[in-house]
Amino acid sequence: MNLNNFENHIDPVILGRGQEYYDDGAVLSLEFEGDTWIAEVSGTDTYTVSLSLDDTGEIIESYCDCPYDFGPVCKHQVAVLYAMQDQPLKKIKQESIEIKESLEKTLNGLDKKTLVSVLLDIAAEDKKIKADLLFRFAKKEDALNRARNLIKASIRDAMSDGFIEYADTHAATRGARKVLDTIDDMNIFDAVNIYFIVLEEMIHLQEFCDDSNGEVGGVIESAQINLTKLVKAAVLNAADGVKLMDMLLKHAADSIYAGWNEWRFAILCAAIPLCVIPAARKKLEAQLAELQVKEHGKNYSSRFDRHEIQKILYTIISRFDGEEAAAAYMEQHLDNDRFRKTVIEQALAKNHLERALKLCLDGENMDHEYAGLVMNWKKLRYAIYEKQKDIAGQKSLALEFVMDGDFDYYLKLKSLYKQGWAVTLEQLLLMMEKKQYSRSDIYVKILVHEHLAERILRYCQKNIAEITKLYKHLLPEHSSAVEQMFLQYIRPLAQQASDRKAYHEVCGIIESYAKACGKKGAEAVIQELREQHRRQPAFLDELTRIKT
């Protein structure tokens, strides 16, 4: 998407609203900072939009801190794009640079006493800036506390009535992200402690915020990924390796991870490289054994946790004891579906079909409570039947998969019939129709694939909204019925429409109607709706945008 043609890539409704915002002067400021354009846009609140462009005007990155999450671009971003189109960017960029240089020159000209006084005044007015300064210039022994204070300052500033709305989570995580940016210059133990502080505060933050946009989870994931890289790259003597293992294990055992075991396991996985030191490995294995006893339940959560523990142990054995020992461990723990799947695939590769088949059937029996796993074992069993050329077995399973909504297996099922396919197809369709088949996607795919226009027509008559997707498969033989169904769909929908989104949806259907039945009929419907909804200016506006 380019600054010169962004209109071609954005929903017309969002485009229109963004244009209105720009025309109404909602773009309060536009500045260039570093390599990013920063704008403030007035709306329900004042929102910040940031944009990065390359030299050709291509939009590399775009972000707005508003709560809109129904698409990649919001009206505030569109308003800024229109502002950037209409204003001399080179001049704004130069002015921004000159202002920054002027400020830098002014600050350089101040004596120490005046500069300290200015910073103290700014810090007194903004607690976030105060916490930022204290952290940035903290002594080594104060760095951990100052890091926590900076993180908490951002959280407090974003909080309202004890809660943080999802539009404010980006601001709430600002301190944590700033702290993460400073870790490179620390020794490994201080850095690890900083990661722990970030994780503790962010996990706690999740208890009183709406993280629908994944801001908080993203910081947690980033901290864990970077912690893993740090440990992996560390070159430590045995004593320091054991010390670091103790730190990781203590943190992983913290009660903050209650209910967040996937994050607890991420910490334990980060500790794996330290197992090159026998004493450190012994400690990790002991904690995993303790966890395994705690998670010895039969519910899905306990099963997941147990399998994660087994995966960590397998990785340790594979990395430090060799593949033979790892294979033996896997064979001893075939209750782990990931291990069982690997063993089955290995047996298939070696053409040990009877063993693979037994492992599949045992898996189906053992995991009968978990429909998804049972289906996986059956699909592996299908692969075995293919190798064995067991046509009856393939037909039976393929039919089951088709009824479960898998179109790929419909094609496989069809290919298995040298004769008699028409009868089988009719039986399959009757079975779906008799059950008022809920997985309509595959039912429709079959009808389209087999060019069954009469059945498609009946399906559309019962599911009127589907005419917009399926009309092409009914023309020209059923053109009259297609036109009638479009009108039956458009008219009541237009009567019920009461907001811009609904009006836009109706107009989109009219555009499909024009493609299906011609411009003349569409224009008649548009005129009809103009007369019926002449007191709804937003609807009339949308009707003028229809392209017939």
Segment 55-65 shows an average pLDDT of 88
Count of other CB atoms within 10 angstroms of residue 168: 21
Section 60-68 average pLDDT: 84
Q: Which residue from 175, 236, 234 is spatially nearest to 202, judged by alpha carbons?
A: 175
Cβ atoms 401, 394 nearer than 8 A: no
Q: What is the pLDDT of residues 493-532, one digit of tens each?
A: 999 998 888 999 999 999 999 999 999 999 999 999 999 9
pLDDT score of 438: 57
Asked whether the predicted pLDDT for residue 75 surpasses 70, the reply is: yes
Q: What is the mean pLDDT of the chain?
A: 90
Helix axes 500-517, 537-544, angle to 10 degrees: 30
Q: Which of 273, 274, 272, 254 is nearest to 264 (CA)?
A: 254
* Low-confidence winner among 21-30, 62-71, 355-364, 423-432 (lowest mean pLDDT): 62-71
For residue 299, pLDDT beyond 70: no
User: Which domains are delineated in the chain?
Assistant: 6-106 (no CATH), 124-335 (1.25.40), 336-389 (no CATH), 473-544 (no CATH)
pLDDT in tens, 143-202: 788 888 889 988 988 888 899 988 788 889 988 998 898 887 778 998 999 999 999 999
What is the reported pLDDT for 243? 97
Give the whole-angstrom CA distance, residue 80 versus residue 261: 42
Burial class (CB in 10 A: 0-12, 13-18, 19+), 69: exposed
**pLDDT of 145:** 84
Q: From residue 380, how far is each of 341, 394, 474 by CA, in Å?
A: 9, 11, 39
pLDDT band at 301 (very low <50, low <70, confident <90, very high): low
pLDDT digits (tens, 9 = 90+) for 107-141: 888 888 888 887 788 778 777 677 777 776 666 66
Residue 141's pLDDT is 67
Are 548 and 511 a contacting pair, CB within 8 Å? yes
The residue ranking higher by pLDDT, 311 or 5, is 311
> Which residue would you say has higher pLDDT here, 109 or 485?
485
Classified as helix, coil or strand, 405 is coil
Mean pLDDT of 307-335: 95
- The model's pLDDT over 399-421, given as tens digits with 9 standing for 90+, comes to 999 999 999 999 999 999 989 99
Q: Where are the alpha helices (DSSP H) in 181-299?
A: 188-205, 215-233, 238-252, 261-270, 278-294
pLDDT at residue number 214: 86
Query: What percent of the chain shows pLDDT beyond 90?
Result: 62
pLDDT at 295 over 60: no
Q: Which two three-digit tokens encode residue 283?
A: 């400690």
The model carries a pTM of: 0.69
Least confident of 12-26, 84-98, 256-270: 84-98
Any residues with CB less than 8 A from the CB of 210 and at least 6 apart, and which?
163, 164, 165, 166, 169
Cis omega (within 30 of 0) for bond into 476: yes
What mean pLDDT is predicted for residues 200-214? 91
Residue type, 180: L
The confidence band for 437, taking pLDDT boundaries of 50, 70 and 90, is: low
- For residue 526, give Cα distances in angstroms to 432, 466, 494, 535: 38, 21, 11, 15
Please spell the DSSP secondary structure of 103-164, one letter per residue: HHHHHHHS-HHHHHHHHHHHHHH-HHHHHHHHHHT--GGGHHHHHHHHHHHHHHHH-BTTBB
- Beta-bridge mates of residue 33: 36
